[in-house]
Amino acid sequence: MNWKVKALLQKNLSTTKLGDNLNHIPATLNKKYNYNVTLYQVHECIRKFNYSNINLSLNKTALEIGTGYSLISAITLSLLGFEKIITVDVTKDIRFSTLKKQIKYLSNSEIFQLISSKSIYKKHEITTKINKLQKINSLDSLFKLLNIKYLAPYSFDEIIQNSKMFDYVSSQVVLEHIPPKTLNELFQFTKQILRKDHFCIHTINFIDHFANPGFFQDKSISEFNFLKYSDQYWNFWAGNSIAYTNRLSYIFYLELCKKYNLNVINFIGENYRVRKELNSELIHNDIIKKYNSVINIEDLTKYQRGTLIITNT
């Protein structure tokens, strides 16, 4: 289906109060949705955590940027051994009914094994914690039990009111939804709140989300199709709260690390799906202008996804 069909639908939905929730419904219709989300969130949370060298035996505080529709990532951080977790989003999308369904899967052997392999707690201690979690009757009781603070919407000041410094900062497919100006503020804030030599790990998806699998997928386009358009044209189609992606490559994030003196330990670029190459001559000048440094145009389509691992020097 032509990507503009989905773009128009999202643009219209974004003008309604429940637009983002309605846009999310098709994904939840899959029978295995809650199991898949739980496995994915636990897996990705631990994959990122593995790149850090944090000693969880001391009281540690984590910050998650972009909670989304699931609290499983924040819960996983707690089950690993973080003493306090602050999870923030621009919109409040967590539902207790969904959370209950996902918590059930924490006892699944594959998921439990993933957590216990990296946790500071013994297996029977994790089991006790999960049993308690499965009995909670409200979001507030979960937050109290695991010392999780959910700020949505949030401001940087509110984060600081809850913790001045963090031992670990992470995000999962969130940064691509943040405009360049806010990203600039976020990296500056990271420099301020990340404890010295501690880790901040972001997984970023760089592709045109209209090429994502699903009923509305446009199979005819390159996964970097969106780089062909001017800012004005792209804003018309996708400059709304549901569809917005910043169209930035990993180079932009490396530039921000340099600007704020954050030490890049590694950037792990990946191509996780079949590539449909975009002729780099088609890349619009508005895209090239987003970078401060002189860029190699091939770098803009080099990776579909990547994990940025940084420390505060």
Ligand X SMILES: C[S@@+](CC[C@H](N)C(=O)[O-])C[C@H]1O[C@@H](n2cnc3c(N)ncnc32)[C@H](O)[C@@H]1O
Q: Chain centroid to CA 144: how far? A: 24
Choose which of 66, 199, 240, 278 interacts with ligand X (CB under 6 A). Answer: 66
Segment interacting with ligand X, rule: CB under 6 A, options 25-33, 166-174, 253-261, 292-300: 166-174
Q: Look up residue 244 and give its two tokens.
A: 């917005």
Q: Are 205 and 261 in contact (CB under 8 A)?
A: no
- Which long-range contacts does 282-288 make (Cβ < 8 Å, 24+ apart)? 282/227, 282/228, 283/227, 283/228, 284/227, 284/228, 284/229, 284/230, 286/229, 286/230, 286/231, 287/227, 287/247
Min separation Cβ 175 and ligand X, Å:
8
How many residues contact ligand X, by CB under 6 A?
A: 15
Using CB under 6 A as the criterion, what x/- string covers residues 68-87 for binding ligand X? x-x-----------------
In the complex, the smallest distance separating the C-beta of residue 127 from ligand X, rounded to whole angstroms, is 26
Closest residue to ligand X, judged by C-beta, is: 68
Closer Cβ to ligand X, 93 or 231, answer by number? 93
Distance between CA atoms of 128 and 124, rounded to whole angstroms?
6
Work out whether 19 is an interface residue with ligand X (CB under 6 A).
no
Among 22, 90, 120, 145, binds ligand X (CB under 6 A): 90
- Residue 208 binding ligand X, by CB under 6 A: no
Q: Which two three-digit tokens encode residue 160? A: 């600081």
Q: How far is the CB of 135 from ligand X (least distance, A)?
A: 25
Q: Please say which residue, 33 or 121, places its beta carbon nearer to ligand X.
A: 33
- Give the contacts of 252 (CB within 8 A, at least 6 positions apart): 180, 183, 290, 291
The interface region with ligand X, picked from 175-183, 187-195, 289-297, 302-310 by CB under 6 A, is 175-183
Three-state DSSP class for residue 69: coil
Interacting residues with ligand X between 142 and 161 (CB under 6 A): none
CB of 57: closest distance to ligand X in angstroms? 27
Q: Are 37 and 104 in contact (CB under 8 A)?
A: no
The values of phi and psi at residue 270, to 5°, are -135, 150
With beta carbons less than 8 A apart as the criterion, state whether 88 and 65 touch.
yes
Closest contact distance (angstroms) between CB of 235 and ligand X is 16
Closer to ligand X at the Cβ: 19 or 66? 66
Determine the interface stretch with ligand X among 88-96, 123-131, 134-142, 267-275 (rule: CB under 6 A).
Answer: 88-96
Distance of alpha carbon 99 from alpha carbon 29, whole angstroms: 16
Per-residue contact track with ligand X, 93 to 112, x per CB under 6 A? x-------------------
In 214-264, which ranges are continuous DSSP H helix?
231-238, 250-259
Q: Quick check: 173 binds ligand X (CB under 6 A)?
A: yes
Amino acid, res. 106: L
204 binds ligand X (CB under 6 A): no
Q: Which is nearer to ligand X, 70 or 76 (CB)?
A: 70
- Note the residues at the interface with ligand X (CB under 6 A): 65-66, 68, 70, 88-91, 93, 172-174, 177-178, 182
